[in-house]
Amino acid sequence: MSEWQPIETAPKDGRCIIVGRFTGKKNNHDGLVQVDRWHNRERGDSYNGFGKFNNQFWPATHWMPLPAPPETL
pLDDT tens digits, 5-50 = 999 999 988 888 999 888 888 776 778 888 888 877 665 667 665 5
* Domain coverage including residue 14: 1-67
Q: Map residue 9 onto helix, strand or coil.
A: helix
Q: How many domains in the chain?
A: 1
Q: Which pLDDT score is estimated for 53?
A: 63
For residue 73, tell me if it sits in a domain. Answer: no
Q: Which is more confidently placed, 61 or 53?
A: 61
For residue 28, tell me if it sits in a domain. Answer: yes
Which pTM value belongs to this model?
A: 0.77
For residue 72, tell me if it sits in a domain. Answer: no
For residue 17, tell me if it sits in a domain. Answer: yes
Q: Which pLDDT score is estimated for 23?
A: 85
Task: Give the neighbor-by-neighbor strand order of the sheet with 62-65.
Answer: 5-6, 62-65, 17-20, 33-36
Q: Which is more confidently placed, 58 or 73?
A: 58
For residue 27, tell me if it sits in a domain. Answer: yes
